[in-house]
Amino acid sequence: MKFRRWALAATALLCMAVSSLSWAGDIKNVRLWLAPDHTRLVFDLSGPISHKLFTLSNPSRIVLDVPASKMKASLSQLDLKGTPVKSIRSGRRNSRDLRIVLDLNTKVKPRSFELAPNKKYGHRLVVDLVKTSKPKTTTVPSSISKKQKDPRRNIIVAIDAGHGGEDPGAIGPGRLREKVVVMSIANELSRLLKKEPGFTPELIRKGDYYIPLRKRTQAARKKEADLFVSIHADAFKDPRAKGASVWALSQRGASSEMGRWLAGRENNTDLVGGVGTLSLGGKDEVLAGVLLDMSMTASLTDSREIGGYVLKNLGRVAHLHKRAVQHAGFVVLKSPDVPSILVETGFISNPREAKLLSTRSYQNKIAKAVFDGVKQHFTRKPPAMTYLAWKAKGGAASSRYKVVRGDTLSVIANRNGVTLNKLRKFNKLKSDTIRIGQVLQIPTS
């Protein structure tokens, strides 16, 4: 009798254990993020899972099999507009296993991976649908491609709104999300630069999606940026921490304990965003080579100078955490040839600053302060062959021409695409008489 009771109890415990293991990975919620080059589906799980992904054709579908799982989320709430997914549905593959089917309206390359819990999320299953179609290219006629670039090019400012998509950044009182605040500030900064002659803004992130940290700097380099500005509104363990700050890269490490803490926090963002096990410690050979590259010396100098101008202007509208440009090992600042700064617009963990940062008027003030600092630096130190460099020379860049036999002032003007009156005024001529050997300054149009 005793053995029977013991056997029944053991069987019950075994059944409970098997039951708890077999339904450990139910899908509690599904989120979708639309990026320029891919669509990301994130399945929030109640526990760890295994999964299998494969594709079917005629019609084009992606199938996701999740053993021992249940769908407890609503798929009908997902906004599929603008995505390659026509519809998404789920059903039982058998009594225990779940099958999710994505009906597609265009070709994609799927990839999937599971993520372990972190401070912000529990277990997750991520499915990325990567675009396969390449952008159309236009053939440039050889006569045009051989022409030189306009010598009065615009200064390109790459604006990086931190975090995004799966990574909300720091969370403040009232669930204020860093990614929303900094996107608003980035958009306003872009608007101001677009209005200013001589500048072209380039937003690294144009919507609510995540971009790996290293790809942000790569994007800036592809756009041939003259400056990279990364905008954040971080948090600290002590809610009393307050004030805006500006950071530039330090080759020797952080300049303060807070700098080390913040740098580590931002650098670990890639793990939050689901890039995988990529080392962000700056120990890989490529980065080591970058840090050793002598071109970084000039970049760091400019970064500090620009940061100083921005910090001075921020001090007019916000409390400053530090009155000097700080230095830390932020991944987004590690570009060898693009001056880069990171602007902490305030501490979202501070209730008073969070309230300010949530308002459009204060966001615009911060953007204007960054804009003023950037403009001041490039007005004082414009890159060669830019509109601002041309303007600094009096707004009339010129080339030299030596008069030869047979030349007339009108012929020279017509040959160089300027008006006779402009050529006369530019050289301060009182008449159209010129002499052989005379050197004229030809204004560029």
Q: Which residues contact 438 (CB under 8 A, 6 or more apart)?
A: 402, 403
Q: Classify strands 85-92 and 108-115 as parallel, antiparallel or unpaired.
A: unpaired
Amino acid found at 154: N
Going from N- to C-terminal start, the domains of the chain cover 22-131, 152-380, 396-443
Amino acid, res. 131: K
- Say what the pLDDT of residue 329 is: 83
Q: What pLDDT sits at residue 142?
A: 34
Q: Which residue has the tokens 């050289």?
A: 427
Residue type, 391: K
The whole-angstrom separation of Cα 69 and Cα 25 is 6
Predicted confidence at residue 263, as pLDDT, reads 59
Counting as low any pLDDT under 50, the low residues of the chain are 3, 10-22, 137-146, 148-150, 253-258, 261, 275-294
Tell me the HSE value of 242 on the side-chain side, using a 13 A CA sphere: 12
Q: Which residues share a beta bridge with 101? A: 63, 89
| Residues 70 and 23 sit within 8 Å (Cβ to Cβ) | yes
- Would you say 369 and 251 are in contact if contact means Cβ atoms under 8 Å apart? no
Given a contact cutoff of 8 angstroms between Cβ atoms, the answer to whether 73 and 84 are in contact is no
User: What tokens appear for 207 in the block?
Assistant: 């919507």
Alpha carbons 312 and 112: distance in angstroms, whole number: 46
Whole-number pLDDT of residue 134:
62
Decide if 208 contacts 165 (C-beta within 8 A).
yes
For 164-207, what is each residue's pLDDT tens digit?
998 999 999 999 999 999 999 999 999 999 999 999 999 999 99
CATH homologous superfamily for 396-443?
A: LysM domain (3.10.350.10)
Q: Looking at domain 22-131, which CATH architecture does it have?
A: Sandwich (2.60)
Question: Which residue do the tokens 């030349």 mark?
Answer: 407
105-136 residues labelled b (16+ CB within 10 A) or e (exposed): eeebebebebbeeeeebebbbbbbbebeeeee
- Which backbone phi and psi does 437 adopt, to 5 degrees? 90, -10
Would you state the pLDDT for residue 270? 59
Of 341, 303, 308, 312, the residue nearest 325 (C-alpha): 308
CA–CA distance, 366 with 187 (Å, rounded to integer): 12
Q: Residues with Cβ < 8 Å from 320, sequence gap 6 or more? A: 243, 244, 245, 311, 314
Please name the fold of domain 152-380: Aminopeptidase (3.40.630)
pLDDT at residue number 3? 47
Q: Over the chain, what HEC string results?
A: CHHHHHHHHHHHHHHHHHHHHHCCCCEEEEEEEECCCEEEEEEEECCCCCCEEEEECCCCEEEEEECCCCECCCCCCCCCCCCCEEEEEEEECCCCCEEEEEEECCCEEEEEEEECCCCCCCCEEEEEEEECCCCCCCCCCHHHHCCCCCCCECEEEEEEECCECCECCCEEHHHEEHHHHHHHHHHHHHHHHHHCCCEEEEECCCCCCCCCHHHHHHHHHHCCCCEEEEEECCCCCCCCCCCEEEEEECCCCCCCHHHHHHHHHHHCHHHHHCCCCCCCCCCCHHHHHHHHCCHHHHHHHHHHHHHHHHHHHHCCCCCECCCCCEEECCHHHCCCCCCEEEEECCCCCCHHHHHHHCCHHHHHHHHHHHHHHHHHHHHHCCCCCEHHHHHHCCCCCEEEEECCCCCCHHHHHHHCCCCHHHHHHHCCCCCCCCCCCCEEEEECC
State the amino acid at position 213 in one-letter form. Answer: L
**Residue 30's beta-bridge partner residues?**
43
**How far apart are the C-alpha atoms of 208 and 166, rounded to whole Å?**
9
Task: Tokens for 54, please give them.
Answer: 């494969």
Predicted local confidence at residue 5, as pLDDT: 56
Query: How far is residue 103 CA from its own chain's centroid?
Result: 30
Torsions phi, psi for 379 (to 5 deg) = -70, -40
Alpha-carbon gap, residue 439 to 437, rounded angstroms: 6
Task: Give the span between the Cα atoms of 69 and 437, in whole angstroms.
Answer: 89
Q: pLDDT, tens digit, for every residue of 110-120?
A: 999 999 988 78
